[in-house]
Chain A
Amino acid sequence: SAVISQKPSRDICQRGTSLTIQCQVDSQVTMMFWYRQQPGQSLTLIATANQGSEATYESGFVIDKFPISRPNLTFSTLTVSNMSPEDSSIYLCSVEVRVGEKLFFGSGTQLSVL
């Protein structure tokens, strides 16, 4: 199993600013993912965070808007840059401890952009 600490749990931000979300896992994991969940919607994958290299982004998401770091096997950050109200969502960090197993999720970051 994995215990994931995601910070902050919520934030209210001004348009045009940036927010960095941290995800810390209590054990080394193979895969780390960042998801977005817009109000009343399902989860959409933003990117796969790769240890020591650039993240792999899904269609519709770009590095300039959502820069991601993963310096080691237990930690990752997602930055939401130059925010607009459309970025108001829940952002979820998730991990796969071993290949072929289930996803574990952090508690999420509720972001509101004014």
Chain B
Amino acid sequence: AQKITQTQPGMFVQEKEAVTLDCTYDTSDPSYGLFWYKQPSSGEMIFLIYQGSYDQQNATEGRYSLNFQKARKSANLVISASQLGDSAMYFCAMREQRHYGQNFVFGPGTRLSVLP
């Protein structure tokens, strides 16, 4: 069963507008972490933002914020004031506990295109 779902294979946004990328997850662990990574065409994986399952407030990092709705098991990424350089693949990921340690599971990704 897919643990991370990103329902938007592709998204378009006008430059300077805000955009929300969806992510839902599935876990029975009470303690977990949620991450967003950006992968531009160069292929590098860039960490954007983190939300812990016990965090009371939504995480923010500059133009990035995470809309965390625990009861709905969603962790949507909001990018404000989009820039052309934001065009990339965006992956939602979850850290889960395994018997031998921890594992990070990635969603299928959303390709964001910012239009001038």
Contacts and interface: CB of A to CB of B under 8 A. Distances in A.
B91 A110 contact: no
Interface stretch (A21-29, A40-48, A67-75): A40-48
**Residue among B35, B45, B93 with most chain A CB within 10 A:** B45
Contacts of B100: 48, 50, 56
A43 B93 CA distance: 10
A92 interface: yes
Contacts of B44: 105, 107-108
Given A43-B91, A45-B104, A56-B100, A102 B50 contact: yes
B107 A103 contact: no
B101 interface: yes
Interface in A24-79: 31, 33, 41-45, 48, 50, 56
B45 A105 contact: yes
A106 to B, nearest CB: 9
B40 interface: no
Contacts of B93: 103
Given A90-B43, A103-B47, A107-B43, A45 B35 contact: no
B102 interface: yes
Interface in B96-116: 100-109
B106 A96 contact: no
Contacts of A42: 91, 106-109
B43 A108 contact: yes
**Residue among B43, B103, B107, B109 with most chain A CB within 10 A:** B43
